[in-house]
Amino acid sequence: MKKIIGSVFLVLIAFALFALPVRAGDLNVSAAMSLREAVTEFSNAFSAKNPGVKIQNNLAASGALAKQIENGAPADIYFSANVKWMDFLAEKGLVDRKNTVVVAYNAVVFVGKPDLKARTMQDLVKLEKIAVGSPRSVPAGDYAVQAMKKAGIEKQLEGRLVMAKDVRECLMYADRGEVTGAFVYKTDAEQMAKNVKILFVVPQELYPRVTYPLGMTAAGAKKPEAVAYFRFAQSAEGKKILAKHGFVVE
Amino acid sequence: MPLFSHSDYLAILLSLKVAVVATLLSLPFGFAVAYLMTFRRFPGKVGLDVIVNLPLTLPPVVVGYFLLVLLGQHGLIGKWVLQPLGIKLIFTWKAAVVGTAVVGFPLMVRSIRTGMETIDRRLVEASRTLGAGWFDTVMTVIVPLSIRGIIAGSILMFARGLGEFGATIIVAGNIPGVTQTIPLAIYDYVSSPGGDAMAMALCLVSISISVVVLVFHEWLSRRMVRAD
């Protein structure tokens, strides 16, 4: 009897292990953290129209997601907050360039307490601590560091930049008052900030425009659900969702 | 072998510095707690034991979060004690020390207790009957007889401190050159495409330091066993 129970148990474990990964109708969406609300809404709307498709939203810094995909993490759709990481995957052959399309734009702003006197990049050298996404993986941080370099204040800010793992953590640091200010996207500041507000918009000439490419991975291109999702995100309805969350759609 | 950047070297130095300072700061407290737990009977002993050992089983993230809630700008200690004194702790290397100290503390206490429990109680009693005050007894009997436990505990805590991540990233943040320790630098590289080589190189540094420290600890504890 014990033996039978034991083998039943083993079979069950084997089922559990093998049943988890690829299942028809599953869709893995890896999206930049700044798109959290927009992508969640996308996925919900898509699920409502396509019952039976189970969507998993994986939200993190775009660079971290690209790294996961490079290492074989399941992903059918990839939303990046910059062109750099999409190009990175394209170069590795993990995304076909013809399956990518730019869907939205954003801008980098500086947030802080409403009474903080910081109106230009030059004012930042007086501040004590500034949160910024880690430029190695967070596009918002990459844009911000590029802007600081171009404004010539990068050296002066050395040792005062707190690296966040994604743009929302960056905003949270500022919101909780642990840093004087933070570089985040306009959309994050407008939709998510509670105790801080936009002090200034980082001048566009200091960094490349924040661009959100949407891509279908090599694995995703083979799935009809992924193709449908890819089209849905570019549709008028998809654009409406992005616009609603403050993104610039052209 | 890729060449480390300036901030990577600083991360290695900072890890050592944080672990050393946290260990030295904890030493008197660790000794006191171990002394109380070994030689004294008092109400709430079990409670103290649980509280001291809690960081051993709690996720370090929880420890970090509690410290942030306590010591942060709006925290109980942060707002009413640190701010009036003009001390800013969160997102400085001192916060990393506090986090590391709390997480590593139980390891130190355990080792010192093990050392103290091997002391023959009669020696302690003899010193008291010969007229030594408790402080004298502690300094001349207990410390020398448990010195190996004290050293072993310090080493263990130091080793744990080198690897502290969860609490550190929350209270000290990730500031290259200021609060970015080895684990935090590795974390930064690991989530970055193309960062594998650097992550691996820092992992090797981390492994080397740990191996040296643990071998030393093992050697010491063997000597301890032999000495008994």
Angstroms from B53 CA to nearest CA on chain A: 29
Query: Which pLDDT does position B74 carry in this prediction?
Result: 81
Query: Which pLDDT does position B228 carry in this prediction?
Result: 56
Which residues does B82 contact at the CB level (< 8 Å), separation at least 6? B71, B88, B89
Q: Does A88 touch chain B (CB under 8 A)?
A: yes
Angstroms from A68 CA to nearest CA on chain B: 8
Distance CA A130, CA A173 (A): 9
Question: B1 lies in a domain?
Answer: no
Q: Are residues A120 and A240 in the same domain?
A: no
Sheet with A77-79: strands ordered across: A54-60, A26-32, A77-79, A210-217, A95-106
Question: Residue A112's domain spans which residues?
Answer: 108-206
Angstroms from A204 CA to nearest CA on chain B: 25
Distance CA B108, CA B112 (A): 6
Q: What is the largest CA-CA distance in chain B?
A: 69
Angstroms from B171 CA to nearest CA on chain A: 10
Spans of chain B below 70 pLDDT:
1-2, 224-228
Token pair, residue B31, equals 């000794």
Q: Are residues A58 and A39 in the same domain?
A: yes
Q: Do A176 and B73 touch (CB under 8 A)?
A: yes
Q: Is B208 exposed, middle or buried (0-12, 13-18, 19+ CB in 10 A)?
A: exposed
- Measured between beta carbons, the chain A residues lying within 8 angstroms of B176 are 159, 161, 163
Query: Which pLDDT does position A17 carry in this prediction?
Result: 54
What letter does residue A206 receive in the DSSP assignment? G
Query: Which pLDDT does position A218 carry in this prediction?
Result: 94
Q: Are residues A29 and A83 in the same domain?
A: yes
Mutate to test the interface with B, among A163, A165, A170 (most CBs of B within 10 A): A163
Which residues does A243 contact at the CB level (< 8 Å), separation at least 6? A249
Token pair, residue A63, equals 């660079």
- Measured between beta carbons, the chain B residues lying within 8 angstroms of A159 are 175-178
Question: A8 lies in a domain?
Answer: no
Question: A13 lies in a domain?
Answer: no
Mutate to test the interface with A, among B192, B198, B200 (most CBs of A within 10 A): B192
Q: Are residues A76 and A131 in the same domain?
A: no
Counting the structural domains of chain B, the total is 1
Q: Are residues A192 and A222 in the same domain?
A: no
CATH number at B196 reads 1.10.3720.10
Q: Is B167 exposed, middle or buried (0-12, 13-18, 19+ CB in 10 A)?
A: buried
**CA proximity to A104, closest of A75, A88, A78, A80:** A80
What letter does residue B193 receive in the DSSP assignment? T
Query: Which pLDDT does position A1 carry in this prediction?
Result: 57
Q: Do A134 and B178 touch (CB under 8 A)?
A: no
Query: Which pLDDT does position A10 carry in this prediction?
Result: 59
Q: Are residues A201 and A218 in the same domain?
A: no
ipTM metric? 0.77
Query: Which pLDDT does position B16 carry in this prediction?
Result: 95
Q: Are residues A112 and A233 in the same domain?
A: no
Q: What is the largest CA-CA distance in chain A?
A: 77
Distance CA B135, CA B113 (A): 18
Q: Are residues A113 and A142 in the same domain?
A: yes
Question: Residue B28's domain spans which residues?
Answer: 6-227
Token pair, residue A20, equals 């988890």
Question: B62 lies in a domain?
Answer: yes
Counting the structural domains of chain A, the total is 2
Distance CA A128, CA A181 (A): 9
The kind and range of the H/E element at A47 are helix A36-49
Cβ(A219)–Cβ(A92) below 8 Å: no
Question: B65 lies in a domain?
Answer: yes
Question: B139 lies in a domain?
Answer: yes
**CA proximity to B93, closest of B15, B199, B27, B41:** B15
Cβ(B146)–Cβ(B37) below 8 Å: no
Spans of chain A below 50 pLDDT:
20-22
Q: Are residues A171 and A230 in the same domain?
A: no
What letter does residue B96 receive in the DSSP assignment? H
Reported pTM: 0.82
Span between the terminal Cα atoms of chain A, in Å: 68
Q: Are residues A86 and A200 in the same domain?
A: no
Query: Which pLDDT does position A25 carry in this prediction?
Result: 72
Query: Which pLDDT does position A21 carry in this prediction?
Result: 47
CATH number at A117 reads 3.40.190.10
Q: Are residues A70 and A131 in the same domain?
A: no
Q: Are residues A138 and A188 in the same domain?
A: yes
Question: Helix or strand or coil: residue A247?
Answer: coil
Question: A162 lies in a domain?
Answer: yes
Which residues does B35 contact at the CB level (< 8 Å), separation at least 6? B116, B138, B142
